[in-house]
Amino acid sequence: MATNISRKDFIRNSVYTSLGLGIAPTLLSQTAHAESGVSSALAGTTTRLKNVRLETGFEYEGDEVVATKTDLFLVEITDGKFSAILPNNPQAKAIDAKGLLMLPSFKDMHIHLDKTNYGGPWKAARRRTNGVKGMIALEQQILPEMLKTSTDHALKMIELLQSCGSGFARSHVNIEPTSKLDSLKHLQIALDNKKNSFGAELVAFPQHGLFYTDSLPWMNEAAKMDIDFIGGVDPYTVDGDIAKPMDTIVKLALDNNKGIDIHLHESGESGLKTVEYLIDRVNENPVLKGKTFLSHCYILGKLEKVRQEEIADKLAQAQIGIMSAIPFGGLIMPIPTLYKYGVVVGTGNDSIIDHWNTWGTGSVLQKANLMAQLYGYSTEFYLNRALKLATYNILPLTDKGQQQWPKKDDVANAVLVQASCSAEAVSRISPVKSLLHQGNIVF
Ligand SMILES: [Zn+2]
């Protein structure tokens, strides 16, 4: 699932390659601005990069991984895919990657590209009153003004993500009576503008409640449009009921052949009931397996260890993923337990600068670093594995140290990082020097 390219990416890529272009002409000029100093030497549909550092295995002392082995390679990319991984040739006529480490490009799996102050003047979040409902009232006031700049701000935010190594985002997009479908339409303009350099999937997000405000008619409309997931938010707190909004979300997803990604901040009994309710619905409708997600899902952090394990097992069986922020403070999410049971875990910046908070840096590598700090992933092996939070589960090496990325015919989505190995990149949040999206150098 993690390695599948989305339908939109596939279409974008096909359109692109059918034009016979190996790199977008508009991107050539951007390439020159890349800080890496990587120069553009592209011809035809094949791009070649020399002096590319790739991980090749682990070095052991006894049974302990003490270092990561790397080597330099010549990498060929044809029509957006890796076409050959060859021994390095410093004399080759190719773009010089200068020994930078190539890793799978990063994915921001939870962000709101449609409503942000990023790109505008600094503004801290206001004091909160009346919980989520207070925030809904605030949004009803400020969204009409924010929509005026939302396309421009989304473009700037996408550029920030690219500069931090993300070539893909799953963005929630407000669908409610205040924004109607405008938030979605404005974001689609931005994404269309970036379609050759950035991939995205969209969650139609009834932020103001499906029934608390009259959002269902707009959600029905949005579900027929070019979105990928049906969203939701705290059914019990916002809509006053679990079954009715959850059944509506499930029906919208099934009727329109979409996935599901629900914001769940509720950390008490209603939160647990909502998780269990969703697990049951997905088991009844196996077509939803592998494409249903809970974002945040803070309740998991509040459960006793035994209960955490039980729910993690059930989530894994139902193939429901968790899109987790990495919260510090009083709440610690049981991410190691989720991994232990094989639950798909992703993360994102959520907010960069908006009225919810202003803490997102744009980097999901930083989230992997936070995870490593929080759970004590301090050794070479655990730091190496922690990279998967940034890449959404694609890693250059297997647990045993076998090389598994990049392989011939993999889509050429990659970053060049100033680090000697993944463990260093995670531990030091090493600088991203270049981003390749479907073979195009876009940063
Ligand atoms: Zn969110």
Q: Specify if 383 maps to a domain.
A: no
Tell whether 151 and 211 lie within a shared domain. yes
Tell whether 18 and 98 lie within a shared domain. yes
Give distance in angstroms: CA of 356 to centre of ligand 1.
9
Tell whether 83 and 167 lie within a shared domain. no
Give distance in angstroms: CA of 159 to centre of ligand 1.
19
Q: Specify if 354 maps to a domain.
A: yes
Tell whether 27 and 167 lie within a shared domain. no
Q: Specify if 97 maps to a domain.
A: yes
Mean pLDDT per 10-residue section of the chain, whose length is 443 residues: 42 34 32 34 74 98 98 97 98 97 98 96 92 94 97 98 98 98 98 97 98 98 97 98 98 98 96 98 98 97 96 98 84 95 97 93 97 96 98 98 98 98 98 97 94
Q: Specify if 368 maps to a domain.
A: yes
Q: Specify if 51 maps to a domain.
A: yes
Tell me how far apart the alpha carbons of residues 297 and 301 are, in angstroms, rounded to a whole number: 8
Tell whether 35 and 91 lie within a shared domain. yes
pLDDT confidence of residue 44: 57
For 413, the domain range is 7-105+397-441
Tell whether 322 and 298 lie within a shared domain. yes
Give distance in angstroms: CA of 32 to centre of ligand 1.
35
Tell whether 235 and 101 lie within a shared domain. no
Give distance in angstroms: CA of 341 to centre of ligand 1.
25
Q: Specify if 269 maps to a domain.
A: yes
Q: Specify if 206 maps to a domain.
A: yes
Give distance in angstroms: CA of 336 to centre of ligand 1.
22
Q: State pTM to two decimals.
A: 0.90
Give distance in angstroms: CA of 296 to centre of ligand 1.
8
pLDDT confidence of residue 20: 29
Give distance in angstroms: CA of 257 to centre of ligand 1.
22
Tell whether 200 and 243 lie within a shared domain. yes
Domain count, the chain: 2
pLDDT confidence of residue 328: 67
Tell whether 28 and 114 lie within a shared domain. no
Give distance in angstroms: CA of 195 to centre of ligand 1.
23
Tell whether 91 and 225 lie within a shared domain. no
User: Long-range contacts: 19-24, Cβ < 8 Å, 24+?
Assistant: 20/45, 21/45, 22/46, 22/47, 22/77, 22/78, 22/79, 22/80, 22/439, 22/440, 23/47, 23/439, 23/440, 23/441, 24/196, 24/197, 24/440
Tell whether 111 and 100 lie within a shared domain. no
pLDDT confidence of residue 249: 98
Tell whether 177 and 202 lie within a shared domain. yes
